[in-house]
Amino acid sequence: MGPRRVLVTGCSSGIGLALAVRLAKDELRRYKVVATMRDLGKRGPLETAAGDSLHKTLEIKKLDACSEASIKECVDSLPNRQVDVLVSNAGAGMIGPLECQSIAAMKELFDTNFFGLARLVKEVLPDMKQRKSGHIVVMSSVMGIQGLLFNDVYSASKFAVEGFCESLAVQAMKFNIKTTLVEPGPVVTEFERKVYEDAEQMDLSETDEETARIFREIYLPYSKKVFSSLGQTPEEVAEQTLKVITAKEPPLRHQTNRLYMPMTALKHADPTGRLPLDTFYKMIFKHDSVFNATLGVLRMLKRRGGKP
């Protein structure tokens, strides 16, 4: 069997870039990577990171996840339109009080995070079915499992992704097509910088003073601490995604951050939903010291090699 062709979306930065490069530099040369981005003007960092693998095991193509025509043009340009592994990674974040977010901005987020995936799958699934092989890998998030304060719309978009894949996976299985949701916790990428930059500039006048204060004085500092204590590098997420792609029997779900797992486990421990709700409420509003101490312990575990 020759190398498998992997199409990755959103490779101008972060996880997509790291994954494309990791696959292209695979020691066993198992992959031919089609690294895509919506704006080829941003190809510089990927070209630099790809180094010698550029034009050998990695080629860069344009693909905008919000345009069916762009996706089709990219897939049509591939020999036999063959995509063995699709990695739907392109995505964006959104944080803040709901009252301060327009419906247009929410639709835009869903257009990328959810409909982007739906468009990609519609384009490659029929060919995968015909070939009776393929793997659909989707960059979801722990927020696709457990919602988080001030992440209402982002979390909803990732829940949509999870429901879509969970449903599709059963049909796909019939055609020998695998489906995997990769679920990172916080990852230090442009994503983090962009959401905090948006948050700093956000007009909070549409919400009440108490909510604005909670967002600015409690949520943002907590969230930044979580990123600096638990945040993974995009290379760590890429390494784990490689393992999932290589696995003979890939899992439907793969959480990349072991340190974040206790948070998502709460959800499965109590079907009424009270346990995660109470825990998050107490952690954020009542036990500042417990929250900080927990992060301190997790930071220590990470330094001592607690990374998955």
Please pick, from the candidates 53, 89, 211, 240, the single residue that binds ligand NAP as defined by CB under 6 A: 89
Segment 33-52, which members bind ligand NAP (CB under 6 A)?
37-39, 42
DSSP, residue by residue, the chain: --PEEEEES--SSHHHHHHHHHHHT-TT--EEEEEEES-GGG-HHHHHHHGGGBTTTEEEEE--TT-HHHHHHHHHTSGGG--SEEEE-------S-GGGS-HHHHHHHHHHHTHHHHHHHHHHHHHHHHHT-EEEEEE--GGGTS--TT-HHHHHHHHHHHHHHHHHHHHHHHTTEEEEEEE---B-SHHHHHHHHHHHH--GGGS-HHHHHIIIIIIHHHHHHHHHHHPBPHHHHHHHHHHHHH-SS--SEEES-GGGHHHHHHHHH-TTSHHHHHHHHIIIII-HHHHHHHHHHHHHHHHTT---
Please pick, from the candidates 66, 204, 218, 298, the single residue that binds ligand NAP as defined by CB under 6 A: 66
Q: Is 16 annotated as a binding residue?
A: yes
CA nearest neighbour of 14 among 50, 44, 46, 41:
46
Binding of residue 139 to ligand NAP (CB under 6 A): yes
Q: Is 47 annotated as a binding residue?
A: no
Binding of residue 14 to ligand NAP (CB under 6 A): yes
Q: Is 15 annotated as a binding residue?
A: yes
Q: Please state the closest distance from residue 10 (CB atom) to ligand NAP, in A.
A: 3
Active site residues: 154
Token code pair at residue 272: 């009424």
Closer to ligand NAP at the Cβ: 190 or 206? 190
Please pick, from the candidates 57, 151, 189, 264, the single residue that binds ligand NAP as defined by CB under 6 A: 189
Contacts of 219 (CB under 8 A, 6+ apart): 95, 149, 150, 284
Closer to ligand NAP at the Cβ: 183 or 211? 183
Q: Is 32 annotated as a binding residue?
A: yes
Q: Please state the closest distance from residue 186 (CB atom) to ligand NAP, in A.
A: 5
Q: Is 10 annotated as a binding residue?
A: yes
Please pick, from the candidates 9, 180, 211, 229, the single residue that binds ligand NAP as defined by CB under 6 A: 9
Please pick, from the candidates 4, 6, 7, 13, the single residue that binds ligand NAP as defined by CB under 6 A: 13
| Residue 201: count of CB within 10 angstroms of its CB | 7
Binding of residue 141 to ligand NAP (CB under 6 A): yes
* Separation between Cα atoms, residue 164 and residue 160, nearest integer Å: 6
Please pick, from the candidates 121, 184, 211, 245, the single residue that binds ligand NAP as defined by CB under 6 A: 184
- Counting residues that bind ligand NAP (by CB under 6 A) gives 31
Q: Please state the closest distance from residue 289 (CB atom) to ligand NAP, in A.
A: 26
Binding of residue 65 to ligand NAP (CB under 6 A): yes
Q: Is 35 annotated as a binding residue?
A: yes
Binding of residue 191 to ligand NAP (CB under 6 A): yes
CB 231 within 8 A of CB 257: no
Q: Is 165 annotated as a binding residue?
A: no
Binding of residue 15 to ligand NAP (CB under 6 A): yes
Binding-site sequence positions for substrate? 141
Which positions touch ligand NAP (CB under 6 A)? 9-10, 12-16, 37-39, 42, 64-66, 89-92, 112, 116, 139, 141, 184, 186-187, 189-192, 194, 234
Question: From the annotation, which residues make up the binding site?
Answer: 10-38, 64, 141, 158
